[in-house]
Chain A
């Protein structure tokens, strides 16, 4: 079982390296934003696997917290790419 967890951790870490390559290389900002969002998801997977590894339930709230922060960050980046500012003053104008 412990080898299974470590294999999964290595696979997730390798996919994080691949996503990091896309963050560095990505031709457009949209590629980098998508890669950062996926990096957040893989980080959630790593936290879950390490939670199983160290046999504690104290890290489970970090998973939900990372999901929320990744969502808000991606939305803020998307709005900046599309409209040029993140917080608009008056949308009806």
Chain B
């Protein structure tokens, strides 16, 4: 039985980007305000879950051709790599570095290697959540 859910699908096409950019904002604001990699990853996963609910598993698979298991592995590698940068410059494990840079569009910006570690956490959270939901969703 084909159900005509035009309103849900059109609303999803707009709301998905609002949720995704809110997740990006939460991720980048995590250093000075509440938020960070974990909440940002969960909000991103909820945006993809909204796509899964409004459309079906096959459409979302062709829309976002991501293997979420690899996403978890890449996130863990980024986190481990960020933590082991310090070992190559004779500092203890997990030592972070920061400095101020003058970027062309943003002006004076402080860049911190903790953001890279947070990006690893973000990838792991998105990958694990989507793996759980897709695995439960596709069994009969």
Contact = CB atoms under 8 A, between A and B. Distances in A.
Interface in B21-67: 22, 26, 33-35, 39, 43, 46, 49-50, 52-59
A17 interface: no
A64 interface: yes
Nearest to A86: B53
B46 A69 contact: yes
A65 B46 CA distance: 10
* Binding site secondary structure of chain A: helix
A75 B55 CA distance: 12
Contacts, number: 55
Interface string B1-24: 011000010000001000100100
Interface residues of B, number: 26
A75 B16 CA distance: 14
B33 A72 contact: no
Interface string B53-87: 11111110000000000000000000000000000
B26 A88 contact: no
Contacts of A69: 46
Interface of A: 58, 61, 64-65, 68-69, 71-72, 75-76, 79, 82-83, 86-92
18 contacts: A58-B33, A58-B34, A61-B33, A61-B34, A65-B22, A65-B39, A68-B46, A71-B50, A75-B8, A75-B53, A83-B3, A87-B52, A87-B56, A87-B133, A89-B57, A89-B137, A90-B57, A91-B2
